[in-house]
Amino acid sequence: MTEVIIAGIGQTEVGEHWEIGLRDLAYAAIHDAIHDAGGLKPQSLFVGNMLAPNLSRQAHVGALIADYAGLTGIEAVTVEAAGASGGAALRQGYLAVASGFVDVALVVGVEKFTDKVGSEVDEALATASDSDFEAVQGMTPAAQAALLMKRYMHENEVSADGFAGFALTAHANGVANKNAMFRKAIKAETYAKAEMVSDPLNMFDMAPNADGAAALLLTRRELYHPRRGLPSSFSNPLVKIAGSGASSDTLALHDRKDMLYFDTAQLSAGKAMKQVGLTLDGIDFFEYHDAFSIYAALQLEAVGFAIKGSGWKLAADGSIGLKGKIPCATMGGMKARGFPGGAAGVYQAVEATMQLRGQAEANQVKDAKFGLIQSLGGPASTAVSHILQRLD
């Protein structure tokens, strides 16, 4: 089977980049990825973006970024799947290279939240929900997550501090990530005193919206030949995309048989693992989509790391820590790194590549060979999963 490798990675610091534009953020990540790949040049560009038409008043982002990066003439398209946009763009890049139609693909995730402030950001985020039945009622993603969380706590008798472990783990792991928005660990009492956003969701149960860009260069293994000037990073193992899967569900939560089970998370992860011939025991770490703590718990259950109703316990007992049963959010996740919208899934892939190359430094998962990354669009209306593998 064709092996698609990640030849280069690049990322910007996640944060509030008031002075930097959308195209500049993307270019910074692209520049680093091309340098990391020893100068490989792409024939196709796949951009993951969620909200540029709403927040940056900019559509046609693929052509914009190709132009600004000096790549005019190549195929350039934007992929949108709400918060799963970056993961979906990665899947399109993977499929393009695996098919043989593209030799080198550039995947970029970019988002610029600070082009707007306040209610305009909430209004833009609400476009990821069902406009006619949810957004029109004033439902925001945070309010929707709070309702899910409240129902989950009621059905499973979870205490008020039951989700604290997700935030504590993410912030502990974010300390050593130089690109994370928040690099300070928090204590349980800090979580308990946090301001409520939408009961029972407090400020530590949701990832901060942030600006950022991340990029990957993909090619087939047989086409990759070390060249002069190749950076020292390639003394580390190569990393390939071993499995890829995607799935969709109803956009509106009220149309589902069970709102507290993320079918798409199960289906997309299952497809990716089947492609590799891998079981859960073979996964060394899991980068979930922790835009909200409740999402992380539901993903752990849907993928199979916990039985239904007990995903929160893995955070409470330390099982998701760097030295736990299944390390999660190993570089801080979205909670500490920040949630850069359509770029989030590409950041996951960059961070997972660092883990598998052995470049995660203080956050390194020992002997990691397989990593599972999963991006969600809305409350798992879309889920995209990839398995990355270290090649020895």
How does pLDDT run across 130-177, given as a tens digit for each residue?
A: 999 998 888 899 999 999 999 999 999 999 999 999 999 999 999 999
Q: Are residues 85 and 220 in the same domain?
A: yes
Q: Are residues 189 and 222 in the same domain?
A: no
Which of 381, 212, 365 lies closest to 295 in space, CA to CA? Answer: 381
Show Cβ contacts of residue 37 under 8 Å, excluding neighbours closer than 6 positions. Answer: 7, 8, 217
Q: Are residues 146 and 14 in the same domain?
A: no
Judge whether 122 lies within some domain. Answer: no
Q: Are residues 56 and 199 in the same domain?
A: no
Judge whether 140 lies within some domain. Answer: yes
Show Cβ contacts of residue 35 under 8 Å, excluding neighbours closer than 6 positions. Answer: 8, 10, 231
Q: Which two tokens stand for residue 68?
A: 């600004």
Which of 16, 44, 47, 43 lies closest to 29 in space, CA to CA? Answer: 47
**DSSP helix/strand/coil, 194:** coil
Instruction: Say what the pLDDT of residue 237 is.
Output: 82
Show Cβ contacts of residue 19 under 8 Å, excluding neighbours closer than 6 positions. Answer: none
**Four-point Cα dihedral 201, 285, 323, 194, nearest 10:** -10
Q: Are residues 15 and 135 in the same domain?
A: no
Q: Choose one of 170, 200, 235: the last residue of a domain.
A: 235
User: Helix H segments across the chain?
Assistant: 22-36, 61-68, 85-99, 119-125, 141-156, 164-174, 188-192, 263-276, 293-303, 311-316, 333-337, 344-357
Q: Are residues 190 and 214 in the same domain?
A: no
Q: Are residues 23 and 145 in the same domain?
A: no
Q: Are residues 264 and 332 in the same domain?
A: yes
Beta strands at 238-248 and 4-11: parallel, antiparallel or unpaired = antiparallel
Give the domain extent around 99. Answer: 4-117+209-235
Instruction: Say what the pLDDT of residue 235 is.
Output: 58
Judge whether 154 lies within some domain. Answer: yes
Is the distance from CB of 291 to CB of 207 less than 8 angstroms? Answer: yes
- Separation CA 56–CA 109 (nearest Å): 15
Residue type, 123: E
Q: Are residues 198 and 112 in the same domain?
A: no
Instruction: Indicate which CATH number applies to the domain containing 65.
Output: 3.40.47.10
Q: Find the angle CA(72)-CA(230)-CA(337) to the nearest 5 degrees.
A: 75
What's the domain count of the chain? 2
Show Cβ contacts of residue 181 under 8 Å, excluding neighbours closer than 6 positions. Answer: 13, 14, 15, 174, 208, 210, 336, 337, 338
Low-confidence ranges of the chain (pLDDT < 70): 225-236
Q: Are residues 134 and 90 in the same domain?
A: no
Q: Are residues 153 and 104 in the same domain?
A: no
- pLDDT tens for each residue of 44-94: 999 999 999 999 999 999 999 999 999 999 999 999 999 999 999 999 999
- Separation CA 104–CA 16 (nearest Å): 31
Q: Are residues 87 and 159 in the same domain?
A: no
% residues pLDDT > 90 (the chain): 93
